[in-house]
Amino acid sequence: MAKLSATLLWATTLWLFATLASPASAGRNDKPNIIFIFTDDQDARMDSLDYMPNVQQYLVEQGTLYRNHYATSALCCPSRVSLLRGQYAHNTNITDIAVPYGGYDRYAELKLGEDYLPIWMQKAGYSTHYIGKLMNKYNVNNYNKPIPAGFDYQDQLVDPYTYVFNTAVFSKDGAAPVYYNNTYQTDVIHAKALNTLKKQRNADKPFFLWLAPIAPHGQFIKEGGDGLDNTRTAPPMPAARHAHLFQDVKIPRNPNFNPVNQTKTASYWKDFAYLNETEVETLDETHRKRLQSLQAVDEMIPSLIEELKRQRKLDNTYIIFSSDNGFHLGQHRAIPGKATDIEEDINVPLVVRGPGVRKGHVSDIVSAHHDLAPTFMALAKGDEHVPSWVDGGVIPWIPRLRKHPKPVTPETFAVEFWMDKLIIENTGPTTMDGWNTYKTLRVISDRYNYKYAVWCTGERELYDMKQDPYETNNLYKSNNVNTKLVNRLDALLSVLKACRAHTCRNPWPVIHSNNTHVQTLQDALDEKYDAHYESIAKFSFTNCLAYYSVANEQHPFDTAPLDESGAALAKRQLYVDAKGCQARYDEVPDKEVTRLFNLVPRSDDSVGHTIPTNEELEKNAHPVPEELVKREIDWVKYGFYNRFGN
């Protein structure tokens, strides 16, 4: 008996040793889990994070707030695709929210979803999960044309109901869409997220979980009648339990808020009128609704934290919080919207917590959305799966990443946009005429902070953001403009506006060939380079166009080698020259479109008293009528996304 016990003990010891040394266990201990919470249109400049107590307690206080993180295209679809691909919009050629220059159909046509972040994460050994909004024009008709690749589990919001808070419509794993009656959309995402996380309790693989609620984006309101002219855009609808909050909160009255004398005068800005008291109060109410809508997002965080603690995985999990782009409300007299190059639209929240991340720290490291994918992959120890054509670099969130061979650019990035109007949301008209095509350079360091913009109209702007953080004094119009500085900034912009891969991370070798001594603007300002910069032609657009054209933005720097592979350059040329798919749909009368849209019933405005359980979700789940799924409609043609939101 003693001999048998000894044998059993020895066998058990061997089994435990083999289990602990197994590849699955080693992978589980070696690679961290990643949760990415990604809101829609959340500002960083109007203090929205200050009104999210759980973000403050669990993320900001336990991690690092990165206050110099940016979107390089302040519009949902271009920004999201840039993040997924790790590229600027001039390399993805997704520059709009719908065909021919953007949207899910265009994205699928260019096959961008065949080589992107979720697939790279899977190659690195991760299970991948996505819940919420993917991108514009992923809808009830094309949800499986194709099914988004690279996800072990996905529950995507589908248009035209994405921006209806009291009508939650999802397609799970490419199956026919279902709607959840009498549920608040963000709460559905919350419940699905928690259920997904619980399924990781006994999983061997590390997981990547991306949560994408639409708050605080505006919503669609259907007011009855037959035509879609009765549809309008409105501020977001909060969950019923949060509708009473923040009644006295107002937009920060910074120097650029509704100035008596207009402070920005390029293109359409010069036409903005001074806002009266009624208009300002409407903006303040929109601001309050946005903050209220974010509370349901904020409530997700302690739920996820508690489940991670239960699984004993919190200490091996990174939680990242950000948004696709910012938002403006009254700055420089602008009524609600985005798509501009002002800081309110491009500077976005970024908070990171996890092993090795400094706690309670605020960082001034400069980064942008195209840096997130390679940074996620570096955290996942999957660098070998990141293609050479990726533009972004690795942000040093933890000590291990500080010496990464492809670091984030230390101080420079570009912001770019192509459109023949300004999109307006939540109030008044939904577009405003005026060219919104520009390229903007940001240079940020401890010593200086500049914004330099070139518009297709020929207008230029230069702001010293260190001295003038609210962009109230365009130095380019000054009689004493610093031409030496402008020459450097213009040359930098000329490289970044068409950069690719390593030239995005370090543009200086393109300007200073065979000179490794110039790595920053401070280096370039040495007077010995004055003649060189004076000889460089200034960047300008040939014409104002609402789409990206290589020929329209040609510059001598574009002939410099951007990639070692000629084949890769040829492929890039195909991407940027493609005109985009033109949707071919039958003509459908407005009355019929309205009828089809209303086949999915709206819940009343009082939804969101409690977060539903899985059982309650299943009880309230109903298939979207087959008639709606089969009748292909170009929703954009009938007003959605170009008139009612994006």
User: What's the sign of the alpha-carbon dihedral 141, 144, 150, 153?
Assistant: positive
Give the 3-state secondary structure of residue 389: coil
Residue 643 pLDDT greater than 60, yes or no: no
Each residue's pLDDT tens digit, 596-631? 998 999 887 789 999 999 999 999 999 999 999 999
Yes or no: say if 429 and 351 are a contact pair by the CB < 8 Å rule.
no
Average pLDDT over residues 148-162: 97
Yes or no: say if 440 and 413 are a contact pair by the CB < 8 Å rule: no
pLDDT-derived band at 231, boundaries 50, 70, 90: low
pLDDT-wise least confident of 300-309, 385-394, 514-523: 514-523
Strand order, beta sheet including 449-455: 412-417, 438-444, 449-455, 460-464
Q: Pick from 462, 455, 461, 533: which is nearest to 492 by CA?
A: 533
Residue 302 φ/ψ, nearest 5 degrees: -65, -30
Q: Which long-range contacts (CB under 8 A, 24 or more apart) does 498-502 make?
A: 498/90, 498/550, 498/553, 498/555, 498/557, 498/558, 498/562, 499/88, 499/391, 499/414, 499/562, 500/91, 500/389, 500/391, 500/562, 500/563, 500/572, 501/388, 501/389, 501/390, 501/391, 501/562, 501/563, 502/406
Q: Which two tokens stand for residue 460?
A: 């230029």
Give the rounded percent of residues in the chain with a pLDDT score beyond 70: 88
Angle between helices 277-298 and 300-310 (to 10 degrees): 10
Q: How far apart are CA 100 and CA 321, in angstroms?
A: 31
What is the b/e burial string over 497-523, where b = at least 16 CB atoms within 10 angstroms of the residue's CB?
Answer: bbbbbbbbbbbbbbbbeeeeebeebee
Per-residue pLDDT tens over the stretch 256-292: 999 999 989 899 999 999 999 999 999 999 999 999 9
Whether the bond between 100 and the residue before it is cis, its omega within 30 degrees of 0, is: yes
* pLDDT, average across residues 537-545: 96
User: Tokens 């979700």 sit at which residue?
Assistant: 617
Strand pairing class (361-368; 64-70)? parallel
Residues 153-177: what's their mean pLDDT? 96
Query: What three-state secondary structure class fits 316?
Result: helix
Per mean pLDDT, which range of 262-266, 387-391, 554-558, 606-610 is the poorest?
554-558
SS3 label, residue 98: coil
DSSP-based three-state secondary structure for 104: helix
What is the DSSP code (8-state) at residue 457?
Answer: T
Q: Do 42 and 332 meet the contact criterion of CB atoms below 8 Å apart?
A: no
Cα–Cα distance for residue pair 392/414, rounded to 1 Å: 12
As given in the structure block, the two tokens for residue 101 are: 């220059």
Segment 429-476, tens digit of pLDDT: 566 778 999 999 999 999 999 999 999 999 999 999 999 999 999 999
pLDDT of 305 reads 98
Rounded to 10 degrees, the C-alpha dihedral 227/177/84/563 comes to: -90
Which residues in 291-399 belong to E strands, given as ranges? 317-323, 350-353, 361-368
Residue type, 362: V
Backbone angles phi, psi at 268, to 5 degrees: -70, -20
Half-sphere exposure of 625 (CA within 13 A, CB side): 10
pTM above 0.75, yes or no: yes
Integer CA distances (angstroms), 99 to 94, 167, 356, 635, 636, in order: 9, 25, 43, 11, 9
pLDDT tier at 30, thresholds 50, 70, 90: confident
**DSSP per-residue codes, 256-274:** TBS-SS-S--SGGGGGPPP
Whole-number Å distance between alpha carbons of 635 and 638: 5
List all residues 6 or more positions away from 567 whose beta carbon is below 8 Å from its beta carbon: none
Strand partners, 454: 439, 460
pLDDT of residue 64: 98
Q: How far apart are CA 522 and CA 510, in angstroms?
A: 17
Q: Which of 115, 128, 42 is nearest to 84 (CA)?
A: 115
User: pLDDT band at 644, cuts 50/70/90?
Assistant: very low
Q: What is the mean pLDDT of the chain?
A: 90
Residue 359, pLDDT score: 98
Mean pLDDT value of segment 50-57: 98
Predicted confidence (pLDDT) per residue in 349-370, tens digit: 999 999 999 999 999 999 999 9
pLDDT tens digits along 72-114: 999 999 999 999 999 999 999 999 998 889 999 999 999 999 9
Confidence of residue 377 (pLDDT cuts 50, 70, 90): very high
The predicted pLDDT at position 558 comes to 78
Partnered with residue 168 across adjacent β-strands are: 180
Check the CA dihedral 82-189-146-36 and report its sign.
positive
Predicted local distance difference test score (pLDDT) of residue 424: 74
pLDDT for the residue numbered 212: 98
Per-residue confidence band for 641, with pLDDT thresholds at 50, 70 and 90: low
The pLDDT tens digits for 562-585 are 444 333 444 444 445 544 455 556
The string of pLDDT tens digits covering residues 500-510 is: 999 999 999 99
Q: State both tokens at 283.
A: 């903006």
Buried b (16+ CB within 10 A) or exposed e, 5-16: eeeeeeeeeeee
Note the pLDDT of residue 581: 52
Q: What is the mean pLDDT of residues 229-239?
A: 83
Given a cut of 50, whether residue 8 has pLDDT beyond it is no
Grouping H, G, I as helix, E, B as strand and the rest as coil, residue 107 is helix
Is residue 222 a contact partner of residue 231, using CB atoms and an 8 Å limit? Answer: yes
The pair of three-digit structure tokens given for residue 556, joined into one six-digit string: 């001598």
Alpha-carbon span 128 to 473, nearest angstrom: 47
**Residue 591 carries which DSSP code?**
H
Position 594 scores a pLDDT of 85
Give the pLDDT of residue 580. 46
pLDDT at 119: 98
Query: By CB neighbour count within 10 A (0-12 exposed, 13-18 middle, 19+ buried), where does 250 fall?
Result: middle
